[in-house]
């Protein structure tokens, strides 16, 4: 499989990143209903990473992977990002999608996530790494996240992103909101998870699986009780996920 070349990050590129960030923020602040699917775009582009094979990850290839059933609905987010790409053409798709995910968390009230630019776009190809199936069991969840090089805390805290958005029958087989306020990033996912089934709210089998293991359940309890801790850990794990397989290039001295 061909490897993407490192992307040069110079002053002009950083200027375009800054412009793209402002553009995405303005778009999402005026259209918050797109924030959940944009965040899903960032997750799914990164989520194909294989830590052992060093393949997949946040490389922009998801735009070539829309035939994957796990990516049903993602085209909405890709189309949302296209005007930003047209306005700031030097920004790679890989950076654009991860930047959009970071901003989606921010504008819905979540933590500020540090963003480092320079992800190269993969050649025209499809990544083969499996994505989480909402009907999966605990073993499935761990298999997927461990393959990515993530750990148990990452599994739980990143699952907290389900506080945003709703389930769609044609995407996950489920239908309904995942939290009482689908456009607010907070710790309600964990609060609701501890309460068991809630009328009107969707809880995936993969969500419920977090309560089956004492290690994972402990993190659920921590985040349900303390939103500040959740935000701090989430920012760390989201950044980690968004940089899987990415080694930030050094900015040229004369940039």
**Measured between alpha carbons, how far is 40 from 150 in angstroms, rounded to an integer?**
18
**Measured between alpha carbons, how far is 182 from 192 in angstroms, rounded to an integer?**
13
**Measured between alpha carbons, how far is 230 from 232 in angstroms, rounded to an integer?**
6
- What residues act catalytically? 44
For residue 175, the SS3 value is coil
- Give 50's strand partners: 55
DSSP state of 79: H
**Measured between alpha carbons, how far is 223 from 104 in angstroms, rounded to an integer?**
20
Return the beta strands (E) in the chain as ranges. Answer: 166-167, 176-177
Q: Are 56 and 129 in contact (CB under 8 A)?
A: yes
- Give 176's strand partners: 167
Taking alpha carbons only, the member of 98, 174, 166, 57 closest to residue 65 is 57
Torsion angle of C-alpha atoms 54, 55, 59, 63, degrees rounded to 10? -170
Residue ranges of the alpha helices (H) in 88-196? Answer: 93-107, 138-147, 152-159, 169-172, 188-194
């Amino acid at each position: 499989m061909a490897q993407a070349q490192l992307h040069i990050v110079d002053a002009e590129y950083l200027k375009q990143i800054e412009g793209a960030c402002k553009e995405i923020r303005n778009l999402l602040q005026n259209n918050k209903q797109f924030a959940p699917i944009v965040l899903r775009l960032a997750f799914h582009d990164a989520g194909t990473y294989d830590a052992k094979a060093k393949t997949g990850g946040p490389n922009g290839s998801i735009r070539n992977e829309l035939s994957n059933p796990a990516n049903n609905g993602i085209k909405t987010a890709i189309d949302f990002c296209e005007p930003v790409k047209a306005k700031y053409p030097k920004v790679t798709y890989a950076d654009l999608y991860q930047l959009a995910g970071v901003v989606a968390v921010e504008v819905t009230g979540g933590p500020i996530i540090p963003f480092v630019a320079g992800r190269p776009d993969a050649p025209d190809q499809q990544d083969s790494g499996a994505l989480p199936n909402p009907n999966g069991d605990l073993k499935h969840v761990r298999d997927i996240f461990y393959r990515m090089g993530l750990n148990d805390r990452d599994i739980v805290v990143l699952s907290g992103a389900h506080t945003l958005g709703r389930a769609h029958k044609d995407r996950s087989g489920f239908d309904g909101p995942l939290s009482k306020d689908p456009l607010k990033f907070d710790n309600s996912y964990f609060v609701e998870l501890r309460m068991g089934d809630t009328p009107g709210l969707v809880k995936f089998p993969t969500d419920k699986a977090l309560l089956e293991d004492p290690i994972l359940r402990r993190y659920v309890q921590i985040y349900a009780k303390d939103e500040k801790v959740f935000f701090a850990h989430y920012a760390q794990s989201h950044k980690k996920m968004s940089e899987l397989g990415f080694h930030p290039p050094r900015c040229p001295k004369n940039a």
